[in-house]
Amino acid sequence: MLWLSPWMRPLARVYCERLIAAGWEVVLVTSDRHPESDGARPYERVLDPRPKTAGTWPEFARELRRARAFRPDVVVTELVRDPRWIALAGTAPRMNLVHDDRPHGADEELPGWERRLFGRWNARAASTVAFSDFVAREVGASAVAPLTSDLDDALVPPVVPAADRRNFLAVGRLSAYKNLDVTLAAWERHVNGPGWRGDELVLIGDGPDRDLGKAVRWRRGPYSYAEVTGDLAAAKGSVAHYRRATQSGVQVLAMQLGVVPIVSDAGALPEFQPPGEEPIGVDDVAGLARAFDALADPEAAARRGGAAREHYLRRCASTVSAAALGAELERVIAARARSTAR
C-alpha cells in the first residue's frame, strides 16, 4: 500500500503503523510541513509539496521512480494539493480520505484550479472514506471509519485523578469558526457565578486578537504535543464548541486523554460524544456556562473524563479505526481483481 499524506503526517503514521502491524507492506509519502514532524521512520519518504519551488523537482523525480518500482496494490490519498502527487498515485486503485465536507472559512478556500483539478481526480477514486456519518452523507462517501487521535498511544499519560484536575482548555487554530465569542461570554458568566472554582480558561494556538476577560490565559504560537499534553490531560474540560461541523482531532484527543469534550450542536461532531455528554446550542451562552459549572467540580470532571476515555477506546481507538480502513482497502483490492479478471 502507498499512502500519500502531505499534511496529516502524525495521523497517517498512526494508521500506517497499525496496518503494518496487521501485515500490510506500507510506504508513506509525506512532508515536514506538520508541526509534529521529526526524523523519517523506516516506512516514510519525505517530500516538499511545493511545486513552484524549483529545488523540489529532483527529489520528486527520484520519489516518482521509487513509487512506480514499489507497484502498490492500492493507494491512499489524503488532502493532496500538489499536482505532481497525482503521478505518484499511478494507476493502482485508490482510496481517498475526506476529513471535512467544506472549508471552515475563507482562509481554507482553495483556488479554483485546485478545486477543479482535484475534484475531478478524487471523483475517480475507487473509494471515498469519511471519518463520520455526517461528512459521509455530505460527500457521498463509500465507507466510514471512526476518527482516531493523531497522538501516539505510547505518549498518552494515565488518566489524571480528581485532585489534580484544573482549568478548561481550547486548543488549535483559533479561527472564527471556533466560536470563541460565545465561549468567552459563557466563561465570563461562569467566573462571575457561584460555580467557579478558580480555574482558568486556557487558549492554546494562534488566532485573531480579542479581549479575553477575567481568568483567561492565551498561549499563542505554534506548539508540540509534548508541550500541551500534560495540561490537556489534567483539564476539567476541552472546549470544542464550534460553529461548523468538523471531524475534530481536538475532540477525539480529549477523549483519548480522559477529558470531557464540550461541543455544540452545530460544530465538532455530536456523534462522537460519549453517552450522556450532550451537545450545547451553538449560541447558548447560558447552557455553556452551566457546562462549565458542572465540570468545575473536579470529582465530576474526573468521573466523566474517565467515561470519555472508555468511550474512545471502544469506538475511536487506533486499532478500531485502522481495522475499518483495512477492511475497505481489502474491498477495493478485491474489486479491482474481479474487474481485471473479467
Indicate if 288 and 242 belong to the same structural domain. yes
Report the residue count for the chain. 342
Indicate if 22 and 137 belong to the same structural domain. yes
Indicate if 206 and 238 belong to the same structural domain. yes
Is the confidence at residue 106, as pLDDT, over 70? no
Sheet of strand 27-30, all strands in order from the earlier edge strand to the far edge = 44-46, 27-30, 2-4, 75-78, 94-98, 127-130, 143-144
**Whole-angstrom distance, CA of residue 171 vs CA of residue 223:** 10
Q: Note down the domain range covering 180.
A: 153-315
Indicate if 140 and 157 belong to the same structural domain. no
pTM for the model:
0.92
Question: What CATH code is carried by the domain that includes residue 262?
Answer: 3.40.50.2000
Is the confidence at residue 341, as pLDDT, over 90? no
Q: Which helix (H) or strand (E) holds 127?
A: strand 127-130
Indicate if 169 and 66 belong to the same structural domain. no
Please provide the DSSP assignment of 133-160 as one string. HHHHHHHT-SEE-PPPPSS-GGGPPPPP
Specify the range with the lowest mean pLDDT, choosing from 34-38, 120-124, 204-208. 34-38
Indicate if 205 and 169 belong to the same structural domain. yes
pLDDT tens figures, 5-31: 999 999 999 999 999 999 999 999 999
Q: What was the pLDDT predicted at 228?
A: 92
Task: Identify which has the larger pLDDT, 207 or 248.
Answer: 207
When divided into structural domains, the chain yields a total of 2
pLDDT tens figures, 166-185: 999 999 888 888 999 999 99
Classify the C-alpha dihedral 16-76-145-283 as positive or negative: positive
Q: Is 4 helix (H, G, I), strand (E, B) or coil?
A: strand
